[in-house]
């Protein structure tokens, strides 16, 4: 395998990859969203009609591919104004303690610093509703380890509509000044931290052609609500760790692109665009995707009124939408796995305990799950419902898997999901 595509001055060559060169895969993703007012940075990083003026944002990501060359994508998908990026660096994080992995750390190993460029320049102004892809940089990364991304915005972004991902489950740091090369942000006078990612959307890794990406389309359960901040124990993280520890070369060759967001729905916008509108952006446009998993529908059912007619309609529409998604995935020659919707009801179907809880909504969940299991339209079925439901009360999660709200799972529940995943399908469907 050659080390990757050339990365000299832009516009001086036209590189055409060959089968022996390797290819790009998505080795980490976060689904871009419009930042809700409550998730905007606090003052002084959000004043005078601008966000992040003269600010460095330091963020860590969990890499899912081993590679000698990487590149970064920055998103201004929801910005109505341009996003002026002044400088970007990558580095390996230093651990805050011997017990952690470096996730969420404000400190970096400065000997590993790499400066990113965009068309040979140190910065780039991302147009409205657009993204920017950095030039490739030679930097060794290892699957299952952390990488620090430091962004500096000299002028910030005008307005309050910015692109981010609030469900990072990972601590990010911000401080005034150009600190992209600083050993730590922890002691900066203006420093703040938050569990939120801003502007970063994809890390691409250059890998052998036998390696590929699994894209996961989901909601807050896949985004890790109920997991531990800075621990990377969402169910996709735990499934990835299972594959990496398997000793199976086919399974270890799979990277993960988690394209989930809290509150996401298949049929309507909410916290982020609906699945039918974002499927091309979040799956088909991602590099190296070989498989896709869709685990959605709970918010569509839960938001729809708990009446027989409303639930009949939402069930009909969900089944029709799944067929659309399957067709689009197959048109791109990507096998798609359907995951059954997990329980979300409280004891006695009490809506006071869990607002989605309803016997009528439970009927819709069972109907949609029957379609997922029995239609034979999906290339594989992932029966998360069977893995985490309480056998004595099938409309509820097992007590040990309930994070407390009867909808989101605990870390033990996410581990059960990862262990229940039928990993043999990756062998069965490998193209």
Measured CA to CA, the distance from residue 83 to residue 75 in angstroms comes to 9
Architecture of the domain defined by 208-428? 3-Layer(aba) Sandwich (3.40)
Location of structure tokens 């970007």: 88
DSSP 181-229: T-SBSTT-TT-EEEE-EESEEEEEEEE-TT-EEEEEEE-HHHHTTTS-T
Backbone φ and ψ of 90, nearest 5°: -115, 150
Strands 289-295, 336-339: parallel, antiparallel or unpaired by DSSP?
parallel
Measured CA to CA, the distance from residue 20 to residue 1 in angstroms comes to 6
Predicted local confidence at residue 97, as pLDDT: 64
Q: Take residue 18 and report the two structure tokens written for it.
A: 């060959």
- Cβ contacts of 333 within 8 Å, gap of 6 or more: 431
Measured CA to CA, the distance from residue 296 to residue 349 in angstroms comes to 21
Measured CA to CA, the distance from residue 62 to residue 45 in angstroms comes to 26
Q: DSSP assignment, residue 320? A: H
What spatial distance separates the first Cα and last Cα of the chain, rounded to whole Å? 20
Determine which helix (DSSP H) or strand (DSSP E) holds 393, and give its type and residue range: strand 393-397
The answer to whether the CB of 232 falls within 8 A of the CB of 168 is no
DSSP 71-109: EEEEE-TT-SS-EEE-EEEEEEEPPSSTTS-STT-SBEE
Tens of pLDDT, residues 322-339: 999 999 999 999 999 999
Predicted local confidence at residue 20, as pLDDT: 61
CB atoms within 10 A of CB 56: 26
Sign of CA dihedral 242, 334, 299, 172: positive
Q: Take residue 184 and report the two structure tokens written for it.
A: 């730590």
The answer to whether the CB of 398 falls within 8 A of the CB of 310 is no
Predicted local confidence at residue 431, as pLDDT: 59
Residues of the chain with pLDDT under 50: 1-17, 19
Measured CA to CA, the distance from residue 174 to residue 162 in angstroms comes to 16
Q: Take residue 269 and report the two structure tokens written for it.
A: 């916008």
Sign of CA dihedral 35, 37, 38, 39: positive
Domain boundaries, the chain: 30-202, 208-428
**Long-range contacts from 237-240, C-beta under 8 angstroms, 24+ separation:** 237/62, 238/414, 238/415, 238/417, 238/418, 239/417, 239/418, 239/421, 240/64, 240/144
CB atoms within 10 A of CB 285: 12
Look at residues 420, 428, 421, 360 and name the one whose alpha carbon lies nearest to residue 395: 360
According to DSSP, the residues that pair with 200 across neighbouring strands are: 74
Measured CA to CA, the distance from residue 33 to residue 173 in angstroms comes to 19
């Amino acid at each position: 395998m050659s080390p990757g595509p050339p990365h000299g001055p832009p516009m001086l060559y036209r590189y055409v990859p060959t089968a022996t060169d390797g290819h790009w895969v998505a080795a980490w993703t976060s689904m871009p969203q419009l930042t809700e007012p409550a998730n905007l940075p606090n003052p002084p990083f959000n004043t005078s009609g601008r966000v992040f003026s003269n600010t460095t944002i330091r963020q860590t990501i969990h890499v899912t591919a081993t590679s000698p060359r990487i590149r970064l994508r920055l998103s201004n998908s929801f910005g109505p104004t341009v996003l002026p990026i002044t400088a970007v660096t990558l580095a390996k994080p230093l651990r805050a303690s011997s017990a952690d992995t470096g996730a969420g750390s404000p400190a970096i190993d400065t000997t590993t610093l790499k400066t990113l460029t965009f068309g040979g320049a140190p910065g780039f102004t991302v147009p409205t509703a657009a993204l920017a892809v950095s030039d490739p940089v030679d930097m060794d990364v290892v699957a299952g380890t952390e990488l620090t991304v430091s962004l500096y915005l000299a002028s910030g972004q005008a307005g309050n509509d910015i692109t981010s991902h609030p469900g990072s489950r990972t601590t990010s740091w911000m401080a005034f000044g150009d600190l992209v090369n600083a050993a730590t942000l922890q002691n900066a006078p203006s420093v703040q931290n938050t569990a939120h990612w801003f502007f970063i959307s994809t890390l691409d890794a250059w890998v052998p052609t036998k390696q590929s990406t699994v894209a996961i389309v989901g909601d807050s359960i896949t985004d890790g609500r109920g997991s531990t901040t800075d621990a990377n124990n969402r169910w996709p993280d735990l499934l990835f760790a299972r594959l990496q520890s398997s000793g199976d070369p086919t399974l270890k060759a799979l990277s993960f692109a988690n394209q989930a967001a809290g509150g996401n729905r298949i049929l309507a916008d909410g916290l982020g665009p609906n699945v039918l509108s974002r499927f091309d952006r979040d799956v088909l446009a991602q590099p190296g995707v070989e498989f896709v998993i869709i685990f959605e529908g709970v918010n569509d059912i839960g938001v729809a009124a708990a009446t027989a007619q409303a639930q009949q309609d939402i069930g009909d529409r969900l089944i029709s939408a799944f067929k659309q998604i399957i067709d689009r995935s197959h048109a791109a020659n990507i096998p798609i796995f359907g995951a059954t919707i997990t329980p979300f009801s409280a004891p006695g179907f009490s809506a006071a305990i869990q607002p989605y809880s309803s016997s009528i909504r439970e009927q819709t969940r069972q109907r949609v799950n029957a379609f997922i299991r029995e239609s034979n339209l999906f290339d594989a079925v992932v029966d998360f419902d069977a893995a985490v439901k309480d056998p004595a009360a099938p409309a509820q999660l097992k007590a040990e898997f309930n994070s407390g709200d009867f909808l989101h799972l605990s870390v033990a529940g996410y581990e059960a999901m990862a262990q229940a995943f039928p990993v043999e399908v990756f062998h069965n469907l490998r193209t």
